[in-house]
């Protein structure tokens, strides 16, 4: 069975000894707190790292209207899936400079002949969260619930520390989910061969 935001919040509530919820609209303090803070906490957690499970690539659309000043071109940022944070913009796999203005990015040198690709973090569905991230998010929520529901400063500190440690573990695991880069030793070999007599 897929994990839901209700499951994540209920686990965090259990950690502080509070009552679980069945929906964000339950008539309880727990549901009100979960409904109020969950989405903001999740989005903040997704921007802590370039999570592979929440990364996406999209080709951007050049807009006909040009920026008012200082830039030559405007591109529309993707809306589906919902963009939370830009990682890079590239043209032909080369990273390019840009500035974000609202739901657009402005560029100087890349117009209709360029294919601009945006790598970004998006609001992934809970069903695709890996266990190491879910645990960090549950500890993070528990630290906030400990203040707003349990009113226990000791638990706030304890779960904050547990969340930070688990985010580090999750980042390490997530960072391993790509092909290892090989060191290009050509220049070292060339240098060594050029210095031989």
Residue ranges covered by each domain of the chain? 5-50+125-161, 53-122
- Is residue 139 within 8 Å of 159, Cβ to Cβ? yes
Tens of each residue's pLDDT in the chain, 197 residues: 689 999 999 999 999 999 999 999 999 999 999 999 999 999 999 999 999 999 999 999 999 999 998 999 999 999 999 899 999 999 999 999 999 999 999 998 888 889 999 999 999 999 999 999 999 999 999 999 999 999 999 999 999 999 999 999 999 999 987 776 666 666 666 666 666 65
pTM metric for this prediction:
0.85
Beta carbons within 8 Å of 141's beta carbon, 6+ residues apart = 8, 9, 12, 34, 37, 38, 41
Q: Any bridge partners for residue 94, and if so which?
A: 91
């Amino acid at each position: 069975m897929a994990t839901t935001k209700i499951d994540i919040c209920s686990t965090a509530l259990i950690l502080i000894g509070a009552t679980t919820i069945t929906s964000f609209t339950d008539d309880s303090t727990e549901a009100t707190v979960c409904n109020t803070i969950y989405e903001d906490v999740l989005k903040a957690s997704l921007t802590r790292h370039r999570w592979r499970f929440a990364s996406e690539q999209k080709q951007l659309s050049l807009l006909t209207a040009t920026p008012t000043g200082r830039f030559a071109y405007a591109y529309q940022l993707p809306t589906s899936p919902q963009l939370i944070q830009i990682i890079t913009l590239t043209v032909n796999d080369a990273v390019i400079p840009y500035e974000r203005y609202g739901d657009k990015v402005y560029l100087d040198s890349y117009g209709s002949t360029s294919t601009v690709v945006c790598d970004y973090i998006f609001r992934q569905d809970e069903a695709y969260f890996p266990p190491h991230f879910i645990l960090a998010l549950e500890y993070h929520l528990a630290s906030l619930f400990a203040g707003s529901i349990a009113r226990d400063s000791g638990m706030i500190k304890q779960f904050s520390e547990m969340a930070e440690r688990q985010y580090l573990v999750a980042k390490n695991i997530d960072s391993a989910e790509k092909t290892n880069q090989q060191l290009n030793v050509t220049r070292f070999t060339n240098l060594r061969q050029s210095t031989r007599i």
